[in-house]
Amino acid sequence: MNIWLRFRLTGVVVVTGVSLLACSGTGERQAAPPPSSAAPGASSPSQPAHSSPSAQPSQPAATTGGRTPSKPAPDASTSSGAGGVTPVPGLGRLQPIWPFTTPAQVQAWQRDYRRDGHQPWHLDPEQTALSFARGYLGFSEIDRVTSRTVTATQARIGVGVSGPESSGSAAVVRLVRYGTGRDAPWEVVGTDDTTFSLTKPAYGSVVRSPLAVGGRISGVDESLRIQVRQPSSQKPLGESCCVPAGGSGQPWSSSVSFKGAKDAVLTVVASTGGHIAEVERFTVTAVRLR
């Protein structure tokens, strides 16, 4: 076939095809494809992050024997200083109130005990609790154990006044084993409180004079005495008396000035009485000078 004729025929076919396509349309404009939401290789816009659900409020701690500790002391094995409480060697965040104030004193007693049986009452939590109330705090009328819960490393000993009108425990003294070995002695670290508490200053906090104190009490015609003590002194470093209080779970507050403090850990003790004994209830907390 002639090449020119082939080109002419081809051109006619192409023109005819284009014309047929144009005529076959419906007259409507074809919709353009939707634009891509992201360029190739680009990540899609992130969705708004869902906010994390709020943490559920913690449940109240279970009470032990019906008693709620007003000064919850952390576990003795804890070594961090969380909550502003200075860690104590051998006790974690618990504070050594009495009778020992340092690990060196514990080790010195252990050497004496192993050599000649010196002061074996340090291995008896009941005797230690009674000696704390009578000897250190000066509450001579407290002369009996009213309750006892003892494990290998911790103890809660109730102490009170003898007599037919006695109302039970004046306080529940909390103790732990201080040091290492089978002859690690018992150490007072606080009290578990119910109807009479001392919550200010906070347990283990650093303080100075004058000291603001406070808590809650249930009772009638109560008269509160507050003292600041240290193991190396027989007499109180400071005292405040007599703060009227009463009602059901009512707040009480006062202040006490003190001087002559030299021990690292001080004891703040609040007591009330006068109905059947001079001291019928007491509560303690531990504070630090540094």
Query: What is the reported pLDDT for 166?
Result: 66
Look at residue 99 and tell me if it is in a domain.
yes
Reported as a single tens digit per residue, the pLDDT across 223-243 is: 999 999 999 999 999 999 999
pLDDT value of residue 39? 31
b/e burial code for range 171-208 (CB count within 10 A of at least 16 → b) = bbbbbbbbbeeeebbbbbbbbbbbebbbbbbebbbebe
| Domain membership flag for residue 39 | no
φ/ψ region of 72 (left if φ > 0, alpha if ψ in -120 to 50, else beta) reads: beta
Range of the domain at 266: 82-288
Q: Which long-range contacts (CB under 8 A, 24 or more apart) does 234-241 make?
A: 237/261, 237/266, 238/209, 238/211, 240/213
The answer as to whether 52 is a domain residue is no
Among 17-21, 89-93, 181-185, name the most confident range.
181-185
pLDDT value at residue 36 = 31
Report DSSP state, residue 112.
Answer: H
**Does the residue 188 lie in any domain?**
yes
Cβ–Cβ under 8 Å, residues 188 and 43: no
pLDDT score for 167: 67
57 in any annotated domain: no
Predicted local confidence at residue 89, as pLDDT = 73
For the chain, percent of residues with pLDDT exceeding 70: 69
| 3-class DSSP assignment, residue 20 | helix
| Per-residue pLDDT, 183 | 96
Domain-located, residue 7 = no
- Greatest mean pLDDT among 70-74, 89-93, 254-258, 274-278 lies in 254-258
Which residue type sits at 3?
I
pTM for this model (two decimals): 0.70
Q: Are 281 and 262 in contact (CB under 8 A)?
A: no
Domain contains 132 = yes
* CATH number reported for the structural domain that contains residue 239 in this entry: 2.60.40.2550
Residue 176 lies in a domain: yes
Strand partners, 157: 148, 173
Number of structural domains (the chain) is 1
Amino acid of residue 73: A
CA distances from 177 to 46, 186, 265, 287 (A): 57, 5, 18, 20
Sequence-ordered list of residues with C-beta below 8 angstroms from that of 228, at least 6 positions apart, any chain: 211, 236, 237, 238, 239, 256, 258, 261, 266, 267, 268
The pLDDT assigned to 155 comes to 98
Is cis: bond before 242, omega within 30 of 0? Answer: yes
Query: Distance between CA atoms of 103 and 94, rounded to whole angstroms?
Result: 13
Contact yes or no for 280/270 (Cβ under 8 A)? no
pLDDT band of 131, cuts 50, 70, 90: very high
